[in-house]
Structure 1
Amino acid sequence: MKIALAQLDPTVGDFAGNATRILEMAEKARQRDADLVVFSELCLCGYLPQDLLERPSFRERNLRELACLAQKVPLPAIVGYVGRPSESTGKSATNAAAVIVDGRVVFEQQKMLLPTYDVFDESRYFQPARTQNVFSFGGQQLGITICEDIWNDKNFWVNRLYERDPVSELVGQGTTLLVNLSASPYVIDKRNLRLEMLRSLAHTHRRPILYVNQVGGNDSLLFDGGSLAVLPDGRVAAQALVFEQDLVMFDTDAGMGDIHPQPSDELEVAYLALVCGTRDYVRKCGYRRVVVGLSGGIDSATVAAIAAAAVGPENVLGVSMPGPYSSEGSRTDAAQLAKNLGIDLLVMPITDIFATYRATLSSAFVGKTEDVTEENLQARIRGNILMALSNKHGALVLSTGNKSEMAVGYCTLYGDMAGGLAVIS
């Protein structure tokens, strides 16, 4: 059996757009002679919808879209969506996977283990599954799980968070192929941890495991993709790109599939993560262009380079705002950076504006010595200019402070903190 692992970048709440992406990817799978296509966790509504799940209209729209999708999908598919509890428990939704065959949903598996830690609060919204069943398809007994369901292997984790182990239970029911729909957020080195865990599961249960992960950014969460097929001997038989929509094939009979290029090291992964997160945040907020203040320093240079890669250099406006204490080197460095990246550069000196501020405030500052107040004035003037350009041109300001500065408070409120997205903090 040929199975397509479809790695999508959904937008939370964009049912029509997400359904279109699902159908487009399903068509690509059909053209590659796939017998089944598997999508990621909650791909129909996007992960994580949070309090949107409390809205009846959101849940009902999700079910209507699933029914419509089932009529159109060109081959059997497994799709993540918001299900409806089979009994009244106080919770109005389940985190579910639907198996679609011949225009209708023929099987549903609900998520059993609901994470409530770090960025997760799923038990607030979802009713957990009480039971699981295997699904017979294409000569295989499919054991379908959703994200956290595979993160409780007693042979891998010293400290387990849950009593039940959905994978072991499915294997005990005769599962021959494990399938996991996931929306696993990216953190540094998590890809390696995830791979080792999947290898442990495949080895322990002597079953191949297919892992389909969401990709892209949704608000503060970023998903790296990197969907996988792992064999019992630990070999990676199929692997999708990171931080890009992708489709990879896996042949269960041959035990082989597509292996797409992977980053060379974690530094490259971190860069790709920043580019992907910036691109999706800008796009999903409805913007096309961004504004970046260029000081001539490394932080603003890094943000500008990421922005150019994320939205294209033609959509980045660099703004140099030299003040009375700016060095000639900072001015020329900003200009050279803009030239190297191919972005537009606007030079707006703030010396006269700064002098006007000081004159206006002079009567209120009588007897006071110069201190951080005057330093912050410059930062706030620059922030004001950037926000004015943002308003006038409909572009999102990317702030350039780094994480270390923010952590210790070495920044200016309403100054260098101004912006819609803090890319490197």
Structure 2
Amino acid sequence: MDLIDAPEGLWLGRCWRPDVAGPAVVTLRDGTLTDITSATAPTVSDVLDLPDPAAHVRGAPGEALGPLDEIAANPCDRRNLHLLAPCDLQAVKAAGVTFARSMVERVIEEQAAGDPTRAEAVRARIGAAIGDSLRDLRAGSPEAAEVKRALQAEGLWSQYLEVGIGPDAEVFSKCPPMASVGPGADIGLLPVSTWNNPEPEIVLAVSSAGRILGATLGNDVNLRDLEGRSALLLSKAKDNNASSAIGPMIRLFDDGWGLDDVRRAELTLLVEGEDGYTLTGHSSMSEISRDPEDLVAQTLGRHHQYPDGVVLYLGTLFAPTEDRDVPGEGFTHKQGDVVTISAPGLGALRNVVRLSTEAPEWTFGTRALMKNLAARGLLS
């Protein structure tokens, strides 16, 4: 699939410019990546907090940097012009357990204590008890409360079911601002993990005032063994070097594309191993148990402010169970896997799996960005 499959869309992103040793705010005009960085809006966070971000992106003066396809093919290092994750100062948050089928897999991880050899037997036992009873439930509804009571009576209640169908969503910090990688970059796994998988997701772009202004794609890299051992290891399982991929660019909402399109989005996952192995998967946003607006409202509001805005992973329906190597142990990544997440209207996000200890170190953070923008005369 093309990196950007809807050229008629209004696109906002970031790229690294080696000539200024820093990032640029960019948009796409007639297939050309165009730098629209300005003192008015030197960051994507600033753009999204303008009264009308779409109008700004359409009308901002720009400098053509080159054809998008050529720039996207460049190596992701500071010697080359290349795409970055399309967020900068925003908090990177993620909603977990938002789909019934993946919720059951989280319960299996917990019951198996992170041991993939036990997962198949646990899956069969839980499947027999739960079946499809969770599929049509709306989280926090009276019907969900009845299911909760029934499961508790059977001794099958879990913290994952609590956040999956209870009134309160799971929203956690995926990584610090500026730590996400973009299209073409390596994504990282902890060396100690032996049971892990990609998570194809929609990522919302939200202003500091809570306005949902656009969407992009994300890979919320998941270490099933660590989280399965203990939910208190969530940050160790989720927040590592290169463990958050977002991109290729944010598609801003306009008259032709909006939040309802996100609600109908169909995501496709393709994993291609160096050994010829392939895995395909699917995540349908129509099956989400919590509406995106509800997830945003539970993330920020009067109870919690984010003055630089938020990008929010919405969770995934995808949870791979087919065996890759050892019967009964399911899927896990191998180094060199190429992971492609795509959705009509949002393009494609492609990354290569490495160890977090071997992926490029994250060294350009918020302090470096502020120094760079100041040196370029972009901070008032």
Instruction: Provide TM-score, normalisation by structure 1.
Output: 0.22
- Which structure dedicates a bigger proportion of its chain to helix? 1
Q: Which has the larger radius of gyration?
A: 1
Instruction: Provide TM-score, normalisation by structure 2.
Output: 0.24
